Structure 1
């Protein structure tokens, strides 16, 4: 299984927009189409399509909050490709790409605190919970570099 992160371009954005999570996951994930629109009109947003071999199977978007801090805002694997190790491989690639920027000192991610799978998954990459976000809704976890 070859997992890569690719730029979202005019040749693959429609396939990325067609990716979707399960009905139960809908409330936790913004649509990829909305994320691409947001990234187009806002500074500092990076989008990547997750590919398995030559097929788009997921999506990432991270945001440079400051030169030293990057937040992963979007991360999804299409429902047809979940539970196959793709998310783990893709997050590892994304973290390596983010860490390659010399100025970055902190990477953060938010998730539903009621989701025990998310906590275990992200902590396995070194994310440490620091408390709820400013809205008091999502758990904030960070990696300090």
Structure 2
């Protein structure tokens, strides 16, 4: 498996990632990259990274540090980096890039002094990623947010 590289999204690379898309059967699970990046541009607490494999654009991940929010929102775990969105282009799925993206978020959280990573995912829809996250060490918190299950990974467990 080749290692992915992660580049902070900026005007120089936005054209590389704007048209990436998931499989047709997954489109109901995630917003388009154009919509996603438009929303991220208005969210000062988020940071987005393009995912490259062999210098080819392959995906996108957006993260939120809850400490940067103007006021705390109980949608987030206070000491855990939030994976806002992650997508792997349909041509690159099945190559371990989703795992690498989540592991990138874990390293990022550790580097900035957080206690772990949290995320939400659809668990009732066909094609959901719940089992993938559980294999990566995430466990359900028991909360549902926006009709999605919340999962958490803590470094001290």
Return 5+ residue gaps in structure 2 as ranges: 69-78
Question: In the alignment, does 2:17 pair up with 1:6?
Answer: no
What is aligned with 1:109? 119
- Structure 1 residue 119 displacement after superposition: 2.3
- How large is the RMSD of aligned CA atoms in angstroms? 1.8
What is aligned with 2:76? none
1:86-97 matches, within 5 Å, as 86-97=97-108
Moved over 4 A (4+): none
Question: In the alignment, does 2:33 pair up with 1:42?
Answer: no
- Structure 1 residue 111 displacement after superposition: 0.9
Q: What SS is found at the alignment partner of 2:107?
A: helix
Question: In the alignment, does 2:34 pair up with 1:33?
Answer: yes
Query: Does structure 2 retain, via aligned residues, the 8 Å contact 1:108–1:141?
Result: yes
TM-score by length of 1: 0.88
Query: Does structure 2 retain, via aligned residues, the 8 Å contact 1:129–1:141?
Result: yes
Whole-angstrom CA distance in 1 between matches of 2:96 and 2:66: 29
Pick the aligned partner of 1:144 from 142, 154, 157: 154
Q: What SS is found at the alignment partner of 1:30?
A: coil
Return 5+ residue gaps in structure 1 as ranges: none
Query: Does structure 2 retain, via aligned residues, the 8 Å contact 1:35–1:61?
Result: no
Moved more, 118-127 or 40-49: 118-127
CA offsets 1:21-62 (integer angstroms, 9 cap, x no match): 011111111121222222222221010001102111000001
- Structure 1 residue 131 displacement after superposition: 2.3
Query: Does structure 2 retain, via aligned residues, the 8 Å contact 1:63–1:70?
Result: yes
Q: What SS is found at the alignment partner of 1:76?
A: strand
Question: In the alignment, does 2:134 pair up with 1:123?
Answer: yes
Number of aligned positions between the proteins: 143
